[in-house]
Each structure stands twice: as structure tokens, then as C-alpha cells.
Structure 1
Amino acid sequence: MLNSLEQNVQYRRSVMRVLLLLTMVGGVIFSILNIYRGLWSLAAVESVFGLFAFFLWHRIMQTMHLQRWVTIYLLPLFSAMVYAMYVPNSAGSIFVWILTIPVISYLLMGRKQGFWVSLFFIISGITVYHFRFIEGDIAINIANSLNIIISVCVITSLAHVYEVNREKNEERLLDLAGTDKLTGLGNRMKLAETFTLYAEYAKRHKSPLAVVLFDLDFFKKINDQHGHHVGDAGLRYIANFIQARVRKTDLLSRFGGEEFALLIAGSSEVNCFKQVDSIRQELADTHFTHDDITLTITVSAGMAMYGKDGDNLEALLLKADQRLYQAKDNGRNCVVDSNNQQAIEATLQTQ
């Protein structure tokens, strides 16, 4: 979902800003210490990263390519951590920075990329650590190795579990936010998100995309005569009825009140019209029953095509809405698209 992606970007921008701030401060402190210790190459690396962090600090909140900069920043940073252990006269305590790699990777790169990046640099770090610092008593070496490996596994596992649950919770909240409570269909937010994806595909592959608006005929009379509980049951019935007759790739959503919106991807205008009109006709031939009340519910529909009638959701909904009202003016229980719009307009003008 697009909102999910937007939230992830903002979340990662904030994490990245904190990391950049710590890198700037750490770069200054550790470069001074390592110059004093005579570790000139390590001091140079830390100084460069401090300056790079300062450069990114001003760009990270505006850039449209956040993940690209995250990757450009983290891969050398993690390499520098491993290199710091390899430098002669460096302290073994530097390994504690290797323990931060899985946490940083999962927070900024996500579950999949974060896992593989963590795995590569953790293995590299453990290898370099053993090459530089493991020597002498075998029993102590084994104990040190187990402590290092187990601690890394624990931190990586915790980071992985946290990210998996964060993704699931975010998806669950976004699904709830994009779902109409009464019918269980998507709402306007879901419609807008899905349209953006479908429109990009339609533009790239030059495939058709239809936007259809349904409106229940005389629905206000149902509420007035039988009560809103019957009206609500009727809305659920219509939602299930239409949903059962569209493809899995189509999106049916509740647009508001007694209106429903349908996205039909990859089907020509003629075939879309046939599909929608078939649903309309089948519904008109079917009876809705609730609490011993039997009703015939019909719908009017207006249809618009991406590209032909507009290139954004607002324009297509406006055109579909105009045709929907033409269907209402034409006696209801019918479908209007661009092909029969002119004929209906001519008929209405002669009446």
C-alpha cells in the first residue's frame, strides 16, 4: 500500500537523522582519539564519515531517493566497522559496534534487505575478530567465540522479530483504515491507492482501465419505509452481490452512502460495459430478503475510461458521476458509458 510506503519512508528518515547525528559526533570524537593513538588511517576514515554524515544531514529529509542514500551510507559504514577491527593496535572492544549492525540494518533497510546485509557484515566481523584477537588458551577462545556468536544471534533475532511484527501491525492498521466497516469493502483511501498502482501499470503497458460508479436506485425510500437496519442489510447485500461477480484483479469499494466504485483493469471498454450491464441486469432479476421483507434493488451506473476520459482519479470519478446521473435521468436501472452517452443525451433532449 502507498500509505504504508510513505509511513516507512518517514519512519526511516527519522532513524537516519539520529544515526547521522551520532556519526557526526562520533566521527569527531574517535578521529581525535585515534590521531592521538597514532591510528591515522582509522582517524581518516572516521573523519570522512563525519563529513559525509554532515552532508547527508541537510539532504535526507528532502531527498526522493532515501533508500539509495541509506544503502550508499550504510555499506561503507559497516565496512568501516569491520576495518576498524583489522587495523593493528585497535582494541577488541570495537566488536561492540558489530552488534549494532542488525539493529541498524533492519530499521533502515527492512526485513529482507536488512537480513542479508546483517548476515554478510556479521560473518565478516566475526571472522576478522577471530583473526585479530583470538589466541592463546583454547578453552577461553571457545568461550569467547560462543559468547560472540550467541550474542550476535540474539540481537539479530530480536531485530528480525521486531521488524516482522512492526510490518504486520502496520499492514493491519492500514487495512483497517482502508476498509469500510459496514460492507467490508475498501473505502476511498483504498480506492485511491489501488488506482495509482493500476494507472501506472495501464500507462506503462498501454492497457485499458475503467472506473465505474454504482448508485442504488430509490435507496432513500428503503431507509424511510423499512428502517436503516434494512438499508444497511441492503448495502451489504449489494456489496456481496457485485463482489461475487467481478474478477479478483478488480477492486470494488464503497464510495460513500449508497454509492460503490469499481476499478476494472485490463478489459476493453466494450467488455467492461458488458460486465457492468450484466451485473445490473442480474441484480434487477434477483430479490433481496431481510426480516420477511422482500425487495428488488436496482442500480444505475456510470463508466469512464483511463486516458480517454481523464488521466487521474478525480477526473475519471467526475466523468463517471456525470454519466451516472445521466443514467438516473434516463429512468434508472441502466449503465452509461462514452458509447451510449450521446444517444441518451439526444433522447433526453427530445423528451
Structure 2
Amino acid sequence: MIKQDNYDYRRFALRILLVVTIFSATFFAIKNWISGWHSFAMMEAVVAFFWSYILSIVSTTRHLKRWSLIYLCTFYFLVLYGIYFSSYENGLFAWLFIFPIISYLLLGRKLGTILTTISVFIGLGFLGRLVWQLNSDVQWIVMANFGLCVIAIWTMVYVYESKSEAVITRLQEQVTRDPLTGLLNVRNLNDILVSVLYSAERRGESVTIAYIDLNDFKKINDTQGHQKGNEILLTVAKIIKNITRTEDHSFRYGGDEFCIIFPNCTIEQAKNSYGKRLKEEVHKELDKLTMSIGYAETGAEGYLSPDDFINQADKDMYATKCTFKMQTS
């Protein structure tokens, strides 16, 4: 949700920038045509028309970063072209100051740094040529001041974007992770399961869910205290993390219940590999603790809905727990 909000923020920023620069490019195209700069005016008009197309799709496109990069490249090219063929007095070089800002604003820290590095140094080169032609005696003063200003803006934007990414990552972790165990929380289960099932259906692969419940956990909490209960939950969560693959998704479903999604995995593989190993590891760490595990598989013969898939695993777990209670009573 937080990452989606950040994505929407960049989409909104691109939309506003497009509106401003389309208006600016159109205005200067008319002005430059009247002033006799016909080739540059035509280029501005073509770019403004192309940006209008981007504006028409920016609200719905799934490739926002790609279109942002295309927009920035055309914008930078237009400004640099103008700097190269115009005079120093027209002040077109002032647009170079916003290069770092809009690069990081639309592309984020990593890609923004790459594009800013390229555009700033090329821009400084173009400006140096203009300054040299104008007055070689003051070129170093002008270039030094300009370069220092651009670098100062670049540094501030980089620091801001880095801090912003760190905050977003931390908030995302808080939203998606269970604070005690560090496993994914149940709020993300449906979204992740929908994504996993969609990918599996495209590839014709099986997906298995393991639904885990710790036996007599309430009794442990009542007799040994909640601190002991939390220690048990942490140990089980650590074991789950250790035995699962990178592509698996492990959740704390709630209380003493856990859920693991195994993409590209059959129910036999889940039982014989992961389920068996989970019980063995838990027995090593927590000698007297037992658990009931239910399984459900869906595959190429017909994919279950997320709710039906989870309910099937839950029913299997409940049947396993009933059997356990009968054996221990």
C-alpha cells in the first residue's frame, strides 16, 4: 500500500510536469518561430505534441517508469539542443538546475542518479562551450558557480530521496511484517496468494499451502506465561524461515497459527520435505511441542480461488488436530 502510494505520487508528479512543460514548449515554439529560429521552434512543437500523447496515457499506463524516462530524455535533449545552438543571454541553461530534481522525483534514487550524472556533466560541457565563446576571461568563475549550484541541488535531492526510500522501506516492513516473528502478516496473504496463483496458472504449475497450528498453545500460555509463549512463536518462526525457499511465502496467520505458500510445489513434496523437516526441527528445539499441519494443493486441472484454497488447508488442519486430540485423550 505504501509503495503503491509512492507510485501514485510519481504518476501525479509526471502529469503536472507534462502540463507545465507542454505549455512552456508550445509558448517558446511560437516565440522562436516569430524570432526566426524555425528549426528549433519545429522541434519544440513536435516534442510538445509527443508529450501530449504521454499525458493522455499517464493515468493508466503500467509502464510509468519507462514513460518517465522517455519524457526526461526528450526534455533534456530539447534543453541541451537549445543551449548548444543559442546564445548565453537567453538563459536557457537555467533549466539545467531542475535536472536533478525531476530525475529523482520521477525515477527514484538509483535510476535518477544515473540520469542526473549523464545530463549534468553533458550540460556543463555545453554551457562551458557557450561561456568560452562569450568571454574566456570569466569562464572559470561562471562555470564554478554554476557547477557548485547544480552539485549542491543534486546533493540535497539525493539525500532527500535516500531518506525517503529508507522511511518508505521501514514503513512497508511495519505494514507487511508481523512485529513479533518477522514473518509476513495475514493482511498480505490474499494479495500474495492471488499473485502466486496467477503466475502458477500462466505456467501450468502446482501451488501448495501448509496451514500450521501449535497444539495446546493456550495451555502453555496459561501455565508458563505469555513470555514463554512468545519465545515458542519466535523459535517456530525462525525454523520456518530456515526451511523454506526464497520463493516461498511464510505468514503468521494469527495467534499460534502459521501459513506457508509453496509455489511450484505438490502436496507430496510439501509433506515429505518441508512438513517432515519442520516437525523434526521443532522437536529438536522444543521437545514437547507438537503441531497440526493441514495441506491443500491446486494445479493445472483446476485452480481454486484464494478463499477456497485457504479454507481447504484449514479444514485439513482441523481434521489433523481432531485426530491428535483423540490420540492424546
TM-score per shorter chain, which class? 0.7 to 0.9
The Cα of 1:168 is off from its aligned counterpart by 1.8
CA offsets, 1:255-313, max 9 Å, x none?
A: 1222101133455532320234424643775685xxxxxx9332111112342673654
Deviating more after overlay: 275-284 vs 125-134: 275-284
Aligned positions of 1:146-185 closer than 5 A:
146-185=144-183
Instruction: Return the letter of the residue paired with 1:72.
Output: I
Does the residue aligned with 1:310 lie in a helix, a strand or coil? coil
| Cα 1:242/1:66, change in 2 over 3 Å | closer
Deviating more after overlay: 233-242 vs 69-78: 233-242
Does the residue aligned with 1:275 lie in a helix, a strand or coil? helix
Instruction: Return the letter of the residue paired with 1:324.
Output: M
Q: Check conservation: 1:223, 1:230, Cα contact below 8 A.
A: yes
| Among candidates 288, 298, 303, match of residue 295 of structure 2 | 303
CA offsets, 1:7-64, max 9 Å, x none?
A: 3421211110110121133234323432343323333333334344444334211222
CA offsets, 1:205-232, max 9 Å, x none?
A: 6655432110122334444555555544
Aligned to 2:43: 45
Instruction: Return the letter of the residue paired with 1:314.
Output: D
Task: Say yes or no: does 1:329 pair with 2:322.
Answer: yes
Instruction: Return the letter of the residue paired with 2:290.
Output: T
- The answer for unaligned runs of 5 or more in structure 2 is none
CA offsets, 1:131-167, max 9 Å, x none?
A: 2332365441111222222222222222222222222
- Taking only the aligned residue pairs, the percentage that are identical comes to 27
Does the residue aligned with 2:184 lie in a helix, a strand or coil? coil
CA offsets, 1:148-205, max 9 Å, x none?
A: 2222222222222222222222111101111112323221245456556655665566
| Cα 1:6/1:331, change in 2 over 3 Å | same
Q: Check conservation: 2:201, 2:303, Cα contact below 8 A.
A: no
Aligned to 2:125: 127
Distance 1:277 1:40 in 2: 73
Larger fraction in helix:
2
| Cα 1:136/1:69, change in 2 over 3 Å | closer
Distance 1:286 1:76 in 2: 62
Q: How many residues align?
A: 326
Taking structure 2 as the reference length, the TM-score comes to: 0.83
Q: Which has the higher contact order (CA 8 A, sep 6+)?
A: 2
Q: Check conservation: 2:87, 2:130, Cα contact below 8 A.
A: no
Taking structure 1 as the reference length, the TM-score comes to: 0.78
The Cα of 1:243 is off from its aligned counterpart by 3.7
Distance 1:84 1:7 in 2: 36
| Cα 1:190/1:128, change in 2 over 3 Å | same
CA offsets, 1:70-95, max 9 Å, x none?
A: 23322111100111112345735111
- The answer for unaligned runs of 5 or more in structure 1 is 289-294, 335-351
| Cα 1:189/1:316, change in 2 over 3 Å | same
| Cα 1:187/1:330, change in 2 over 3 Å | same
Aligned to 1:212: 210
